[in-house]
Structure 1
Amino acid sequence: MLFEFGIKDFVDILLVAMILYYIYRLMRESRSLNVFIGILVFIITWLFVSQVLEMRLLGSILDKLVGVGVIALIVLFQDEIRKFLYNVGAHRRMRAFVKLFSSKIDGEETKRALKETIMPIVMAAMNMSRGKVGALIVIERTMPLDEVAGTGDLIDSNINQRLIENIFFKNSPLHDGAMIISKKRIKAAGCILPVSHDMDIPKELGLRHRAAMGISQESDAVAVVVSEETGCISIAVGGHFRLRLSAEELESFLTKELE
C-alpha cells in the first residue's frame, strides 16, 4: 500500500521545519551552532538506525541515550530555553491577543504612562547628542535584567531628563556604564553589559554599540546609544541596529517597541 500524503502530513512537516529553523536561529545567536548540528546528526542517525534499519540492540542503546540526553540538554541550554519561552510570550501577536481583554480606559492610561516614560529619554538623548556626550540606556521589556542591574549601582528613581543627563555627564563616575530602566523607573546605572563579538558590526561603531548589540542579542531589551564621537543616536533591538535616528524617529520607534 502506497503512503498517503495528506494536508495533515504537510502541516506536520511544516511545523517541524519551523521549530527546527527557530532552534537553529537561537543556537546561532548564542554561538552554539556546532552543538545544534551535532544534535541534529545524532537524531537523524537514531531515526535511521531504529526506524529504517530496525537494529534492535543499537536502537535500544540510542533510545536510552535520547532519554538521558533530553534532561542533559535542558540543563545545558536552560538560558536559551528560558529566552525561547520569553520570546513566545512577548511576541507582538500574543501581546495583541492579551490586549483584547484590557479595557479602553486602561489603554489610554497605558499610552499616557508610556509617553511619560519615553519623552524624558528622547529629550535627554537629544541634548546629549548635541553635546556629544556618550550614553547607553537599556529599557527592559519582558525579560528581567536583574543580573545586569546588579553589576552597577542601584538607583530606583523616577525617569527624569536631568537625572539621565547628570548620570552620563563626562565627569560622572557612572557615565561609562549602562543605565537600566525597568518598570518605568531608572533601576540602576554604571552597569556592565555583555559585549557582542559579531563581525558584521561596522568598525566605526565603538564599545557602547557592541554592548548595546550584546544585550539586544541576549534579551528582548531595547538599547539606546548616543555616540561620544559623532553624537549620533542609535537603537539596538533583537540583534539589529537602527542608526542615526532623529528625535521624531527615536520617539516613534520607542513607542512602537514598548507599547
Structure 2
Amino acid sequence: MKIGFLDIEWVDVLDVLLLAFLLYQIYFLVKGTIASRIFLGYLLVYLLYLVAKAIGLELLTTLLGYFISVGALALIIIFQQEIRRFLLIIGKSTNIANSRFFRRWLGQPVPDEPAVSLKPIVDASKAMSSEFTGGLIVVCKNDDLEKFIETGDRLDAMVSKRLLLSIAGQYSPLRDGAVIISDDRIRAARCILPISENDEMLTSTGFRHRAAIGISEVSDAAAIAISEETGRISLAIDGELFANISSGELEEKLQQYLLEKNRPKKREGGKDAPVA
C-alpha cells in the first residue's frame, strides 16, 4: 500500500502497533509515580535533540547526543524497579507451569482447594475486626517471599485462629508488621513490607493498607489489612484494594484468587518501609 511518497507494508503497521502497545505498557507502569516525570523529561530532551539535529544545530546536537547516550544508562539505573516489574509481568503472563490446563496435560493433579486453610485466617480476621485490633496478614500464592520473611521473626507454625489473634494482640511483641503465611504455615511475623508509591491512592489510606497494596504489587500474594480505627477488613490483590468487605466476601475472594491461574498484575512498586 502506498500513501503519498510512503510505501507501507503490513509489517510496518504491525511494527507501529507493537511499539504503541509497548509505550502504553511503559506508561501504565510508571503512571502516578515519580518515574513518570523523569520519563517525560527524558522524552522532551530527546525531542529537542531530534529538532536540533533536523535544523542543523551541530553544537547542541553533539551536546544532547552525549547526554542521551549517558542518559540511557542512567535510565536503566533510575527505572530498575519499573524494568523489574515489566519483566515480572511478562514472566507471570507466560508462566504456564502453574496453569490448570498445563498440569492436566502433564497428568499432574489440579487442586480444588487452596494450599492454605482459609477458615482460621478468615475467622481471625473477623475476630480482629470486631475487636478493633489492627492486623496485616499476607497469604502467599506462588511467589517466594523469603526476602520479606527474613525481615521478621520466623515462627514456622501451623495456621490457627488463636495463634493469629495472639500475634495481633495489644501486648504482643509481634503485633507490629505483617504475618506471612505460606503452604498452610505461619512462616514469620513482624515482617517489613514494601509501601506502595501510587500517587493516585487516597490520602486517608494508612501505612498498613499501603503495605498490603505494596506486597500485592511486587508479588502474587494476597494481603489482608484490618483497620485498628474502624475495624474494617480490606483485601489487596494485584495492586488493587477491596476495602470494607465482609468476612464472607473475604473468604470468597481469597479462594477464587488462590485457585485461579496467574494473571498479569496491574501495577507494582514501592520501597521497603516499616508497616504502621
TM range (shorter): 0.7 to 0.9
Residues 1:97 and 1:169: Cα distance change in structure 2 (over 3 Å) = closer
Instruction: Tell whether 2:97 aligns with 1:82.
Output: no
Distance 2:76 2:185 in 1: 34
For 1:9, the aligned partner's letter is D
What is residue 171 of structure 1 aligned with on the other side? 171
Residues 1:94 and 1:4: Cα distance change in structure 2 (over 3 Å) = farther
> Would you say the 8 A contact 1:137–1:180 is kept in 2?
yes
Distance 2:158 2:13 in 1: 53
Distance 1:220 1:103 in 2: 22
Residues 1:140 and 1:30: Cα distance change in structure 2 (over 3 Å) = farther
> Which deviations, in whole Å up to 9, do the C-alpha atoms of 1:150-188 show, x marking residues without a partner?
322122233333322221122211112111224543221
Matches within 5 A, 1:1-259: 2-48=5-51, 52=54, 66-91=68-93, 94-95=95-96, 98-103=99-104, 106-108=108-110, 110-112=111-113, 114=114, 116-141=116-141, 143-196=143-196, 198=199, 200-201=201-202, 203=204, 205-259=205-259
Residues 1:55 and 1:182: Cα distance change in structure 2 (over 3 Å) = farther
Structure 2 counterpart SS, 1:176: coil
Q: TM-score, with normalisation over the residues of structure 2? A: 0.75
Residues 1:8 and 1:199: Cα distance change in structure 2 (over 3 Å) = closer
Structure 2 counterpart SS, 1:244: strand
Cα distance, 1:206 vs. partner? Answer: 3.5
> Which deviations, in whole Å up to 9, do the C-alpha atoms of 1:56-79 show, x marking residues without a partner?
887677666555443433333323
Residues 1:178 and 1:116: Cα distance change in structure 2 (over 3 Å) = closer
For 1:32, the aligned partner's letter is A
> Would you say the 8 A contact 2:179–2:191 is kept in 1?
yes
Distance 1:65 1:142 in 2: 42
Name structure 1 gaps, 5 residues minimum: none
Total equivalences in the alignment: 254
For 1:18, the aligned partner's letter is F
Between 38-47 and 78-87, report the one with greater CA deviation: 38-47
> Which deviations, in whole Å up to 9, do the C-alpha atoms of 1:209-233 show, x marking residues without a partner?
2332333344443210112233221
What is residue 264 of structure 2 aligned with on the other side? none
Q: Which has the higher helix share?
A: 1
Cα distance, 1:37 vs. partner? Answer: 0.7
Distance 1:165 1:157 in 2: 14
Residues 1:123 and 1:95: Cα distance change in structure 2 (over 3 Å) = farther
For 1:165, the aligned partner's letter is L
Residues 1:234 and 1:35: Cα distance change in structure 2 (over 3 Å) = same
> Which deviations, in whole Å up to 9, do the C-alpha atoms of 1:76-108 show, x marking residues without a partner?
3323222221122223x7559844321276443
Distance 1:156 1:181 in 2: 9
Between 176-185 and 65-74, report the one with greater CA deviation: 65-74
Structure 1 counterpart SS, 2:252: helix
